């Protein structure tokens, strides 16, 4: 806006200069001789000096082009639109009684121009709750609900949940819908029992009994917690562990397994195993891990089962679930003893311990028997995939910046629709050296847009020429939809000085970017990078303290007020409780605020130009004497009283389409991103429009009054009548113009517009009345003008003529433009108009189910080192919970007898 103000100042100076020159010439040619009747003012001795003085007089007269009241109005509008955000019930989250909050009131219109969203993952996109959702046991898939006809049905709130009341130790929060799995457990299906036994044994979870009978698991990774809880509910309750034992209540029967070894998880192995001795004395190795890894280790006899399970895995992966494959293996006593010996030696070895251990692990983890697969849902916040889809349709680029591991991040990317299979390719940048990263970035860009390496490419030209100061990159198009996943350590290289250009070019060509394992500082750096090279409005959204830097760096920061404390909210500009409210914030509030602000600015500049430039034209007919066209009172009240409320009413209430349509047609958001509604061209247009109107507003009264008289022969071409006529024309024209610009006529708008006009007439008839003149003689010299002028038919004919001359070209222009060169939003508005006439179609309930070709849904938020910790017993309390107290189990009596 400041650039526009500077231009206006320039324009003002130009006008004053022209008029000052005009005055110099006029005084030389005419004023000098006219001194018989009008001597020059004291001290004025020459025409040029008079022109110089007149320059400053005109600065005073014409300064109304620089709208000082603009700033006040802008602040009022922003404040109003911020209140709408606070008041929106559709952004209120009832569960924790949190309304949306606009914490700054100066950024509303930028909400309508967002091009890049930087989002945190955990707590923002996801709830950080893992839920055991589905599984595949021995070639049979569980977890879906079928209706009577055998059709898979949608799981809703009304779907009957599985009743776990038979199991007193069940976790009441656990929810499962497929009854057939319970049946299988109750029928003593061996594979099912084996599956859940594995889940209850193969993990690093610690049990805790805070209150009596209330068993709580302390899981280092939420995935494991979900799996062990699932086993618990299905009747395999993991109760207690010591460094040497694991106690499990299996279908009401307490069993103590001897824990012989934990083959711990790490990022390379992508699996973990335990070796236990069951109460009967059998030795078993239980293993769970990534499908790609575990499948390599399976025994050849699992052939057909492998196929079926793989099918299920694909299905799970396609739904964005995190999958693990589970397998077991019975061990021979003598082999195990020998292995155990070697394991002990390796784990006490002084050098090369890791390598030795992993060799040993690989040796024993083979020829596994496949049990099945688990599918865990990393619970997304409500409506995240739909929100992402809508925002993507609005051509907003979404970058996920997360501290999580690559697999987890990619998995979430798929499950919340950021990544999908329609993408031509998802590039993964994980190089460990600067050169690798550069190569990977360049290869990706080569694939997306080979032309961008040509010397003729405008970006290359721009950066070869060091003289160009601006670093803003133009938008580069890729030849398809691509995604980019970049690792934290690679990002560190890519953010280094000379490579950041490569990064930003490649990344911005992609529709989606996921940065994983990034530090809070890197999050901010990425945002900074995009701000530096792209002329776009960025938004960062997050919930935790680690997002604060990013939220502060982006143009607009949004805080999710969730569980993770208040730091993000406190440093944000807007806050609400759920990620899904973002689409409403942007597509409804942001878009409206942007449209309103643009309409406001266009109208405001227009009305002030139309108002002021009339003085300019009058200068040519009044000896460039800084004579105003209007009454002083009108000049004082014009911005303050006559035209302030209608434009405020428009800027507070206007909406082109209501919120539902705004969300249904996200394309309507695009004009904001390209800033189509108020830019240099639009500004020039409203200046030209203002100039045109001022010409009409001057020359129609001029022509109508030239040499004419009232119908009784008395004068009407006097200055006061002319002033009244011009100001009446002006006010009616700008009122009609605001009527044209208003798309949404509420009662308030009507009241403001008609009220302002009525007020105008009331005020002029009062100010120009006999009484006012008799009381304040010198202040109201326009006595009688209103009565004598507005009673004349030709005055009204002239007013009517100026209105239609000002307004009809605008109407015609808009109509023809919408017909000949309809913009995207014109087309959508037309579509909405057509749709409004028809009865509204029922909203299609689309479940975002993807037929995926993804191979693996493996993601696991586990960390290395917990196996060793458990085996050492260092994390155990001296008082063992179960074996000593044993109070929470209904079977405790029986246990003791054993």
Distance from the first to the final alpha carbon of the chain: 83
Please report whether residue 97 would count as binding another protein according to CB under 8 A.
yes
Q: What is the dihedral of CA 304, 308, 313, 316, to 10 degrees?
A: -170
626 binds another protein (CB under 8 A): yes
Q: Which of residues 588-607 bind another protein (CB under 8 A)?
A: 592
The reply, when asked if residue 224 is annotated as ligand binding, is yes
Nearer to another protein, 208 or 770 (CB): 770
Q: Is 705 in the site for another protein (CB under 8 A)?
A: yes
Please state the separation of Cα 753 from the chain's center in Å. 36
Residue 439 labeled ligand binder: no
- Interface with another protein, residue 877, by CB under 8 A: no
Give Cα separations from 254 to 210, 244, 248, 553 (angstroms).
Answer: 21, 16, 6, 56
Residue 19 or 400: the one with the smaller Cβ distance to another protein is: 19
29 is catalytic: no
Q: Which of 381, 402, 546, 721 binds another protein (CB under 8 A)?
A: 721
Size of the site for another protein (CB under 8 A): 102
Q: Give yes or no for residue 174 binding another protein (CB under 8 A).
A: no
> Would you say 383 or 623 has its CB closer to another protein?
623
At its nearest, how many Å lie between another protein and the CB of residue 827?
A: 5
How far apart, in Å, are the Cα atoms of 434 and each of 439, 448, 489? 9, 21, 10
**Distance in Å, CB of 809 to another protein, minimum:** 9
Locate 298 and state its tokens: 């399976």
Residue appearing with tokens 């390599």: 296
What does the chain come to in residues? 898
Q: Which of 450, 409, 664 is closest to 398 using CA atoms? A: 409
Among residues 754, 667, 764, the alpha carbon closest in space to that of 723 is found at 764
Interface with another protein includes 858 (CB under 8 A)? Answer: no
Check whether 277 is labelled as a binding-site residue: no
Report in angstroms the alpha-carbon separations of 469 from 1, 466, 499: 22, 7, 18
The residue among 36 and 350 lying less far from another protein, judged by its C-beta, is 36
Which of 12, 21, 87 lies closest to 52, judged by CA?
Answer: 21
What minimum distance in Å lies between the beta carbon of 845 and another protein? 23
Say whether residue 446 binds another protein (CB under 8 A): no
Asked if residue 820 binds another protein (CB under 8 A), the reply is yes
φ, ψ at 791 (rounded to 5°): -85, -5
Query: Within 34-63, which residues bind another protein (CB under 8 A)?
Result: 34, 36-39, 41-42, 57
Torsion angles phi and psi, residue 559, rounded to 5: -110, 135
186 binding another protein? (CB under 8 A): no
Q: Binding site annotation covers 547?
A: yes
Q: Which of 185, 249, 410, 805 binds another protein (CB under 8 A)?
A: 805
Q: Is 157 in the site for another protein (CB under 8 A)?
A: no
Is residue 656 part of an annotated ligand binding site?
no
Structure tokens at 876: 């155990």
171 is in an annotated binding site: no
Give the max Cα distance, the chain.
Answer: 132
- Binding another protein (rule: CB under 8 A), the pick from 153, 477, 711, 791 is 711
* Distance, C-alpha 367 to centroid of its chain: 49
C-beta closer to another protein: residue 666 or 857: 666
Closest CA to 431 of 500, 483, 507, 485: 485
Q: List the one residue from 453, 621, 751, 761 that touches another protein (CB under 8 A).
A: 621
* 797 near another protein, rule: CB under 8 A: yes
Catalytic residue among 88, 120, 223, 291: 120
Under 8 Å CB-to-CB from 164, ≥6 apart: which residues? 170, 172, 174, 182, 233
- From the list 446, 680, 827, 864, which residue makes contact with another protein (rule: CB under 8 A)? 827
Rounded-to-integer distance, Cα 201 and Cα 195, Å: 10
Query: Which of 819, 851, 853, 884 touches another protein (CB under 8 A)?
Result: 819
Site string for another protein, 64-83 (x = CB under 8 A): -------------------x
Q: Is 517 annotated as a binding residue?
A: yes
96 in contact with another protein (CB under 8 A): yes
Closer Cβ to another protein, 98 or 113, answer by number:
98
Distance of closest approach, residue 681 Cβ to another protein, in angstroms = 21
Strands 425-429, 482-487: parallel, antiparallel or unpaired by DSSP? Answer: parallel
DSSP 3-state of 483 = strand
Q: What DSSP assignment string belongs to 525-557?
A: HHHHHHHHH---EEEEEE-SGGGHHHHHHSSEE
Which residues have a catalytic role annotated? 120
| Residue numbering of the annotated binding site for Mg(2+) | 120, 122, 543, 547
Residues tagged in the binding site annotation:
120-122, 224, 265, 288, 322, 402-404, 517, 523, 543, 546-547
């Amino acid at each position: 806006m400041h650039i526009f103000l500077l231009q206006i100042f320039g324009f003002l100076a130009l006008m004053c200069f022209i008029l000052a020159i005009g005055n110099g010439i006029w005084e030389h040619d005419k004023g000098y001789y006219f001194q018989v009747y009008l001597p020059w003012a004291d001290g004025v001795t020459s025409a040029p000096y008079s022109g110089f003085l007149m320059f400053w007089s005109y600065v005073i007269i014409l300064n109304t082009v620089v709208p000082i009241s603009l700033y006040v109005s802008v602040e009022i509008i922003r404040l109003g639109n911020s209140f709408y955000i606070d008041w929106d019930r559709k952004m209120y989250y009832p569960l924790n009684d949190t309304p949306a909050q606009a914490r700054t009131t100066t950024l509303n219109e930028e909400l309508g121009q967002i091009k890049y969203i930087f989002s945190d993952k955990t707590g923002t996109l996801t709830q950080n709750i893992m839920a055991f959702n589905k599984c595949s046991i021995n070639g049979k898939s569980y977890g879906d609900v079928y209706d009577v006809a055998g059709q898979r049905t949608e799981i809703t709130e009304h779907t009957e949940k599985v009743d776990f009341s038979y199991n007193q130790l069940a976790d009441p929060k656990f929810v499962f819908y497929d009854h057939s799995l319970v049946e299988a457990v109750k029928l003593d299906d061996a594979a099912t029992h084996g599956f859940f036994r594995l889940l209850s044994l193969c993990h690093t979870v610690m049990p805790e009994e805070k209150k009596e009978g209330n068993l709580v698991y302390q899981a280092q990774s939420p995935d494991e917690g979900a799996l062990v809880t699932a086993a618990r509910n299905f009747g395999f309750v993991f109760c207690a562990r010591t460094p040497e034992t694991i106690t499990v209540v299996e279908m009401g029967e307490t069993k103590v397994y001897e824990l012989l070894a934990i083959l711990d998880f790490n990022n390379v192995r992508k699996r973990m195993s335990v070796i236990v001795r069951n109460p009967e004395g059998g030795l078993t190795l239980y293993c769970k891990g990534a499908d790609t890894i575990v499948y390599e280790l399976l025994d050849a006899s699992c052939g057909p089962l492998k196929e079926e399970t793989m099918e299920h895995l694909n299905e799970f992966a396609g739904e964005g679930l995190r999958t693990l494959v589970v397998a077991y293996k019975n061990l021979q006593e003598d082999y195990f003893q020998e292995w155990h010996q070697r394991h002990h030696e390796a784990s006490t070895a002084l050098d090369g311990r890791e390598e030795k251990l992993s060799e040993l692990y690989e040796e024993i983890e083979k020829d596994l028997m496949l049990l099945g697969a688990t599918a865990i849902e990393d619970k997304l916040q409500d409506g995240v995939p739909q929100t992402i889809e809508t925002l993507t349709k609005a051509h907003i680029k979404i970058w996920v910046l997360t501290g999580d591991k690559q697999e987890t991040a990619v998995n979430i990317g798929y499950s919340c629709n950021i990544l999908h299979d329609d993408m031509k390719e998802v590039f993964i940048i994980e190089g460990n050296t600067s050169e690798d990263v550069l190569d990977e970035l360049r290869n990706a860009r080569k694939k997306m847009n080979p032309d961008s390496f040509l010397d003729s490419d405008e970006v290359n030209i721009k950066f070869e020429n060091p003289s160009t100061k601006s670093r803003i990159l133009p938008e580069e198009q890729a030849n398809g939809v691509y995604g980019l996943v970049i690792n934290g350590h690679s990002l560190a290289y890519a953010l280094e000085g000379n490579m950041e250009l490569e990064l930003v070019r490649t990344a911005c060509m992609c529709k989606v970017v996921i940065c994983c394992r990034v530090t809070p500082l890197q999050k901010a750096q990425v945002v900074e990078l995009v701000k530096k090279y792209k002329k776009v409005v960025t938004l960062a959204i997050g919930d935790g303290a680690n997002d604060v830097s990013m939220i502060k760096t982006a143009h607009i920061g949004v805080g999710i007020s969730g569980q993770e404390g208040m730091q993000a909210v406190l440093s944000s500009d807007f806050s609400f409780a759920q990620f899904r409210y973002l689409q409403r914030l942007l597509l409804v509030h942001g878009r409206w605020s942007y449209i309103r602000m643009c309409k406001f600015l266009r109208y405001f500049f227009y009305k002030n130009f139309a108002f002021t430039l009339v003085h300019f034209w009058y200068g040519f007919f009044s000896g460039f004497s800084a004579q105003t066209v209007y009454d002083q009172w009108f000049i004082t009240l014009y911005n303050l009283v006559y035209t302030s409320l209608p434009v405020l009413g428009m800027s507070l209430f206007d909406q082109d389409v209501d919120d539902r349509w705004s969300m249904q047609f996200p394309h309507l958001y695009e004009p904001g991103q390209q800033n189509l509604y108020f830019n240099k061209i639009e500004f020039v247009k409203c200046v030209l429009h203002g100039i045109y109107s001022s010409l009409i507003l001057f020359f129609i009264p001029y022509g109508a009054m030239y040499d004419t008289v009232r119908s009784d022969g008395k004068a009407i071409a006097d200055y006061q009548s002319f002033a009244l006529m011009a100001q009446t024309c002006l006010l009616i024209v700008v009122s009609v113009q605001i009527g044209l610009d208003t798309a949404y006529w509420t009662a308030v708008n009507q009241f403001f517009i008609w009220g302002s006009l009525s007020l105008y007439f009331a005020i002029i008839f009062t100010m120009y009345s006999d009484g006012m003149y008799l009381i304040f003689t010198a202040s109201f010299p326009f006595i009688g003008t209103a009565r004598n002028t507005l009673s004349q038919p030709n005055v009204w004919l002239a007013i009517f003529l100026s209105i239609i001359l000002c307004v009809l070209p605008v109407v015609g222009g808009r109509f023809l433009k919408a017909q000949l060169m309809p913009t995207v939003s014109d087309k959508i508005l037309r579509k909405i108009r057509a749709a409004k006439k028809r009865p509204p179609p029922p909203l299609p309930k689309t479940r975002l189910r993807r037929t995926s070709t993804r191979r693996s849904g493996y993601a696991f938020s586990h960390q290395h080192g917990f196996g060793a910790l458990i085996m050492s017993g260092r994390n155990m309390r001296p008082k063992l919970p179960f074996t000593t107290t044993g109070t929470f189990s209904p079977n405790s009596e029986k246990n003791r007898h054993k």
